[in-house]
Chain A
Amino acid sequence: MEHTAQDPHERPFFAPSGKGGLASWIFSTDHKRIGLLYLGLIMLMFSVAVVLGLLLRLKLMTPGNTLLTPQQYNAIFTLHGVIMVFMVVIPSIPASFGNIFLPLHIGANDVSFPRLNNFSWWLYVTGLVLALVSIFTGNGPPDTGWTFYVPFSEHTTTNVSIAVIAVFVLGFSSILTGLNFITTVHRLRTPGMTWRKLPLFVWSLYATGWIQVLATPILGITALLIFSERVLHLGLFDPGRGGDPLLYQHLFWIYSHPAVYIMILPAMGVISEIIPVFSRKPVFGYNMIAFSSLAIAFAGSLVWAHHMFTSGMSDNAVLLFSFLTFVVAIPSAIKVFNWLSTMYKGSISLDPPLLFSLGFILMFSIGGLTGLVLGSAGTDIHVHDTYFVVAHFHYVIFGGTGLGMFAAMHYWFPKVFGRMYDHTRAFWSFWIILLGMNVLYFPMFVMGLQGMPRRYYDYLPQYAPLQMVSTWGSWILAVGLILMFHNLYRGCRYGPVATKNPWGGATLEWTLPTPLPAEAFYGDPVAPEPYDYKGVNPDG
């Protein structure tokens, strides 16, 4: 260690030690700094994609040729999807809060491979830069949708080649994070931290890590294949030369369905941490919540073709994948029931983190149940590729993962930044966001059932009223988001100094000073019972 004035066990991790500056961040191997770097970039990309989404809604407010040209519209929904999926939602919770709290939860001072951790952040940055290049060079941004379906993606003259390489690099970054987390959980648990004492957040990240490692390579090869189809013209998916475009869809969804569990599992882990703390009760059904994470990871890798019911696949395959899709709903429902049972007869304090978690449960339940409408082969024929799908996955991904991310931000904020945000504003921002989301997305269920296809530039007059309502919803949501980020920003600049354990959590991070110190533990800490609140009380 350098001879700094302050003990690294007391100095906040973000305070400079000796030589500070940018290099001490971007080349940092400290999991907390890397987590914060991720958080910053993810939020930046989130804002960009939100603005794109608002633009789409603004265009769709009225039918006909307004505001955007069709080509611009195609490019913007592609960018919105690519940015949100690969640069925001996939890394969201694991790369930011997972990085910061996974080691602390198991009593370790860092991940197993700190330099690899820094390298995956750099890969993430490289992916962002490549994506930017694909927007501003060549024949303009890709217009294929985030799914890059062949044959269109092979023939469009827009910048798909660079975009898929960006996806490849981002996937690599995600793999390395998952690999790092799995190894960390196996190797760095403090003595006494048995598998059944692991916080559920760690369990969820562990399951996520396996999906990242096992599913993402298929995305990698899919991206490489698109690239080589475009550049080398191998013709592997070209029906004219005997290729089969359906095989592309299989490859794509073999990754991209498990990917939705990369998106949602960490958020479920966050919720499993927050609910017991704010109910002052041990989590109900610890074993089942932990096990269902693994069950989701496993079963979730067997259902990909439910995205292809209308593609002309064999009926046997349709029935099988439909059945498996119903199976995967079971472990998700187990979690929801366990959370509710945890709250039952608890001593509930409705603080902002819990509020966002409840929002998660509501939105995830709506999104999950409508997912079954899509998963059952008969009804899917009716709503396939309509706004119903768009509504479904925005409920799950934004209402679920998004609110889970916001819950995590409000829960760990004081621990990371050492200050507290304003609770009243947090309440208001939550309710406005929740209202906005529902006004924005619920009409899409209705429009979808009425047959409004997704990704269309124009629509029939009969959809005009609901399209209008949906756009209003996007404005409400934007106001809520601005309020929330403003509140958090104010909190970290001027908020009152936070105490060590403001919520009364029993996991290890709450035994550390606030804000988190550069070096977390002296030696190996004693493994606590993570959900035993006897003798653990909120400060003040």
Chain B
Amino acid sequence: MNRLACLVVVIGMALPAFAQDARKSGFDYMGPDTQAMQKDDLANPGMLSVLEGETLWNTPTGKAQKSCAACHGDATQSMKGVAARYPAMDDKTQSAIDLAGRIIQCRVERQEAPAPQREGRELLSLSAFVGRQSRDMPISPPQDAKLAATRAQGAALYSARMGQLNFSCAQCHDDNAGGHLGAAPIPQAHPNGYPLYRLEWQSLGSLQRRFRNCMSGMRAEPFAAGSTEAIALEAFLMERAAGMKLETPAVRP
């Protein structure tokens, strides 16, 4: 009896560790050339956006004529680990907010500048620069009970069948991860490299743009960038990838 209890405890402890080992970054599915491109900061085209983001960070703008640096100082200190814990709760609106949304908020409310466009160059560069400060840090979703509903919504969307092809995200990214769709390996859909440089896009793009790609492949109507649904999916995927290392700005095929 005692021995059995002991065995149950051992298995109980071993399982989460085993499940963790089964998770693979999209990086692991790439060819050696693309991996080398990501790893070399002087060959990774995402670094061009990081540099641009750094310039924007230090440039006063808006009616307030304040730069991001004027309030946040040295980003290598103040923004370290920040990207690893978004989406988070926004106390004011009592809803989940993604990192891009937080940057828009500072741009509009604190710099009194026009709201940057989602997927626009300005917001992507700033997000890449802020994200870069958390590179190699583990994804650490906030321990905030108020995010539970958002994550549950994301989990439901992830396994819901959608679109004319009647696929769910989970059918590809859980059931067939490691397989192929045409020539492309199907990754596990981890959000750990964004914003990232996708060779097919020939540019930097956000996680929500990636959702749009997969959803139009499913012939479903893509969630608008910054929508409740897109942020819920993001919050779910970040929780699912908790502990995995951020690679921002990653490169993907």
A binds B: no
B residues bordering A, Cβ < 8 Å?
Answer: none
